[in-house]
Amino acid sequence: MYSFKSDYSEGAHPRILKALMETNFEQADGYGEDPYTWEAIQLLKQRIACSDADIHFISGGTQTNLIAMAAFLRPHEAVIAPFSGHVAVHEAGAIEATGHKVITTEGKKGKLRPADVEQVLHKHNDEHMVKPRLVYISNSTEIGTIYNRAELTALSQYCRDRDLLLFIDGARLGAALTAAQNDLSLEDIARLTDAFYIGGTKNGALLGEALIIRTGSLQEDFRFHLKQRGALLAKGRLLGIQFRELFSDDLFFELARHANRLAQKIQLALGEAGVSFLVPSPSNQIFPILPNDIIKELLQRYSFHIWDQVSAERSVIRLITSWATKEEAVERFIFDLKRLL
């Protein structure tokens, strides 16, 4: 049984484990005040070309999202997210548990355009409703699509003109930035948003996301929020060491490229075999539409998520590859599936 269920099925990239071993007996201060974390922060500041950003390492994506929004928003302010946004659906009400409404809007292919946000603003015009304040998007999105520079620039400009904050959930930012069609850089992301995070968990780390707060007014006292929500790890070094390793050279992007390449290999092969897709995805999540009996056969040898039903006979499945996905497994999967088609 080989799993294409997620990009967090294995442990960490061996270089990360090696770095943990090598530093293991060095004594360091707790709570992120260790030298490894400091180094990782410097490396990231260089990558985003922004020396006055505030950078924090946090265990997971839901925790990062909830702490950022709880810290950035006043009680009456709300988040705007696409229907498919992770915060809107799959975080068990984490944002609402901090007191903030998540307003959903349709979007297109998992992405928000200025017009989608405009619709929300249009309806929210007095104090009997919440005040929309932060636009949440994911890149890559929950269905594998990515924003290009023109799209992100337009959304960013729109938000700035209306005093809205723009936040990117980058759980799979590595996959987005190394996709074939991508024309955005980490620098662009930093320049066009108020805050965003770079996902480590789904790209080779044991755990860890790097939250980058660009806008000065959002930076104040942020460590209080980390502590208050239980995110200030005693051994903060665990996060710092991993991000130091991922960004000390090109490792972070190499891992994402590997994941993308293998997903695209499947998508290409299946496309050639006449399989259609929920949406064309340039990244490491793909969504082929297959007959239910073939899906049943595949599940004998592979595990993956059944995303949605499209008819009585056909369903969309989700296949995810990662830094750890083996080329042979992908080849065997293509072979097995083609035989069934």
Residue 121 binds to a copy of itself (criterion: CB under 8 A)? no
Which of 74, 122, 161, 300 binds a copy of itself (CB under 8 A)? It is 74
Quote the DSSP letter at residue 202: G
Residue 163 binds to a copy of itself (criterion: CB under 8 A)? no
Residue 310 binds to a copy of itself (criterion: CB under 8 A)? no
Q: Considering only residues 26 through 55, tell me which ones interact with a copy of itself, judged by CB under 8 A.
A: 26-31
Residue 285 binds to a copy of itself (criterion: CB under 8 A)? no
Question: Residue 300: how many CB atoms within 10 A of its CB?
Answer: 8
Which of 43, 50, 154, 207 binds a copy of itself (CB under 8 A)? It is 207
Taking the complex as a whole, the smallest distance from the CB of residue 181 to a copy of itself amounts, in Å, to 26
Q: Are strands 2-3 and 302-303 parallel, antiparallel or unpaired?
A: parallel
Residue 125 binds to a copy of itself (criterion: CB under 8 A)? no
Residue 312 binds to a copy of itself (criterion: CB under 8 A)? no
Residue 198 binds to a copy of itself (criterion: CB under 8 A)? no
Q: Are strands 131-138 and 165-169 parallel, antiparallel or unpaired?
A: parallel
What is the Cα Rg of the chain in Å?
Answer: 20
Residue 20 binds to a copy of itself (criterion: CB under 8 A)? yes
Q: What are phi and psi of 82, to 5 degrees?
A: -70, 155
Quote the DSSP letter at residue 320: E
Cβ distance to a copy of itself smaller for residue 287 or 323 = 323
Q: Considering only residues 77 through 96, tell me which ones interact with a copy of itself, judged by CB under 8 A.
A: 78, 89-94, 96
Quote the DSSP letter at residue 153: H
Taking the complex as a whole, the smallest distance from the CB of residue 280 to a copy of itself amounts, in Å, to 25
End-to-end distance of the chain based on CA atoms, in angstroms?
A: 20
Which of 53, 206, 262, 298 binds a copy of itself (CB under 8 A)? It is 206
Residue 134 binds to a copy of itself (criterion: CB under 8 A)? no
Write out 273-284 in H/E/C secondary structure: CCCEECCCCCCC
Torsion sign over Cα 129, 94, 98, 134: negative
**SS3 call for 261:** helix
Taking the complex as a whole, the smallest distance from the CB of residue 185 to a copy of itself amounts, in Å, to 26
Residue 123, exposed/middle/buried by CB under 10 A (0-12, 13-18, 19+)? exposed
Residue 119 binds to a copy of itself (criterion: CB under 8 A)? no
